[in-house]
Structure 1
Amino acid sequence: MAYNIDKKNTEIPFYIQLKMILKEMIENDYTPGELIPTEIELQKRFEISRITVRDAISELVNEGYLKRKRGKGTIVLPKKIEEPLSKIKSFTDEMKERGFSPSTKSIDILITKAFDDVCKALNVKTGEQVYKISRVRCADNEPIVYFETYMNMNMKIDLDINEYSDSLYEYLKRVKKINIKYAEQRISACSADEKISNKLEIKKGEPVLLLKRKSFDEENKIIEYTKGYYISNRYEYFIKLKGE
């Protein structure tokens, strides 16, 4: 397909025209993970300024279509992931249903002291020991979310990190014989601090979605409390509402 910028059309800025062209190229010509042409190549191909090219790419990066990789170039990202708020699903199942390949980039498990919201969620005293599992989950090898999961010590979970490379809910069901009956969750917006930005490979201060979830078993007992930090331009939640 031939892509051209209409130089005679002064109503639509060139960077917007290029942005629209690049979106078409992403949808029709490229696959997730593939590099798009460099800024210089695009500048020469469309005979426009480097600043115009950079502005178009920056908008697509902000909207979650592209990602800049230092020392490599600009790659195409998988389509934005949607999750309905009405069902409990593990990240693994959620990704598989949408045609993505889920994976875990880093895992850490330790015993730590509980403070603030962790104490309230797990109903433990300040300073009481709890399990903490930290994981970066990916879709098609791209970081999507950083999870921090807390559990009471009476759960007596494994300290082998290999047990948590896949679905946590699957581990609980398979090893601990625990089925998650329901969950309570809250979603808010926040900025990535240094730790979150390093984990998700984004800039410090970038917006992220913070999901706080408490999961309960069939006896209404709290099983785990998770804080998930999602890259905001890669993930969104939706709710289907009914009229009266």
Structure 2
Amino acid sequence: MKIKIDHSSPIPLHIQAEELLRKIIRQPQYQKGKNLPNEIELATKLTISRGTLRQAINKLVYEGLLVRKKGLGTKVNNIVSSKALNWLSFSQEMALRGIPIKNFELKISWVKPDEQIANFFEIKGNKKVLKLERLRGRSEGPFVYFVSYFHPRIGLTGDEDFKRPLYEILEKDYHVVANLSKEEISARSADKFIAGKLQLDQGSPILLRKRFVFDQVERPIEYNLGFYKADSFIYTIESRRE
């Protein structure tokens, strides 16, 4: 298979690399479990830097197309996953359901990101990011606890009025448009902290919704965790056969 990056193209190198990787991993040998070439070999073949290649690989890892294991290399992820075609902010979702929302807690802080968040943002772990915590629900009680981390590139100060819709703040105040969302949903038991927030018994079932949000040129802008009472959240997936 012929693979080539066009350095004269206006399309960013990492976007070209992503598309080539998508073609590469459709080859039978990779679908059957063969590891991709190591980063040095693949970057040399594509005539791009390892950093550019890593950006492309990270994108496919977050999409669930690739899985990377330390010491074992990178290969196609053969676990089938589903994703919705469209996404809405929490406020929009609740408005569509006709559910009035109450904010029980709102906390803003600056923190050093853990390794997973730093890797998602592609920043150093000693660079602080804005952390926004919100406990939200109906008038009778909370049903979701959100934790959001934002890329420093956006320019958020922490003085914003976060009672306003989040993506309205980003777009109107910072000209950052949230254009793409990728999500992971898993079931788990509430630990002591989350149980306290959601007014549950420790060990009660909850749903964890991870949301990775990107701007119009697919740069990461938000890493969001939502902890839902299990009986309060239904996720609908629409798939269309092409």
TM-score category of the 2 structures, normalised to the smaller one: 0.5 to 0.7
Q: Deviation digits for residues 101-133 of structure 1, max 9, x if unmatched?
A: 022110111111111321222122233311110
| Residue matched to 1:165 | 163
Displacement of 1:94 after TM fit?
Answer: 0.9
Say which is worse superposed, 171-180 or 206-215, in terms of deviation: 171-180
Gaps of 5+ in 1: 1-83
Q: CA deviation at 1:141?
A: 4.8
- TM-score of the aligned structures, taking structure 2 as reference length: 0.61
What SS is found at the alignment partner of 1:202?
Answer: coil
Give 1:224 shift.
0.7
| Aligned equivalent of 1:152 | 151
Structure possessing the higher relative contact order (Cα contacts under 8 Å, 6 or more residues apart): 1
Whether the 8 Å contact between 2:134 and 2:145 is mirrored in structure 1 is yes
Tell me, yes or no, if the aligned pair for 2:130 and 2:158 is still in contact at 8 Å.
no
- Residues 174 and 142 of structure 1: is their aligned pair in 2 closer, same or farther, counting only changes over 3 Å? farther
Give the strand-richer structure, 1 or 2.
Answer: 1
Q: Which has the larger radius of gyration?
A: 1
Paired residues, what number?
160
For residue 225 of structure 1, report the CA deviation from its aligned partner. 0.6
Check the 8 A contact 1:209/1:229 in 2, yes or no: yes
Task: Work out whether residues 85 and 239 of structure 2, in 8 Å CA contact, stay in contact via their aligned partners in 1.
Answer: no
**Paired position in structure 1 for 2:195:** 197
Residue 184 of structure 1, CA deviation: 1.1
Match of 1:12 in 2: none
Which sections of structure 2, spanning at least 5 residues, go unmatched? 1-82
* SS state at 2:169 partner: helix
Aligned counterparts, 1:1-244, within 5 A? 85-160=84-159, 163-242=161-240
TM-score calculated relative to the size of structure 1: 0.61
Percent of aligned pairs sharing the same letter = 30
Q: Quick one: which amino acid aligns to residue 212 of structure 2?
A: K
For 2:140 and 2:217, locate their aligned partners in 1 and report how far apart those are by CA, in whole Å. Answer: 37
Instruction: Determine if contact 1:136/1:143 at 8 Å carries over to the other structure.
Output: yes
Alpha carbons of structure 1 residues 121 and 127: separation in structure 2 relative to 1, 3 Å = same
Q: Contact conserved, 1:108 with 1:133, CA < 8 A, in 2?
A: yes
Query: 2:140 & 2:93 partners in 1: Cα distance?
Result: 15
CA contact (8 A) 1:103 1:165 kept: no
Alignment match, 2:11: none
Please say if residues 215 and 223 of structure 1, whose CA atoms lie closer than 8 Å, have aligned partners that are also in contact: yes
Who is 1:3 aligned against?
A: none
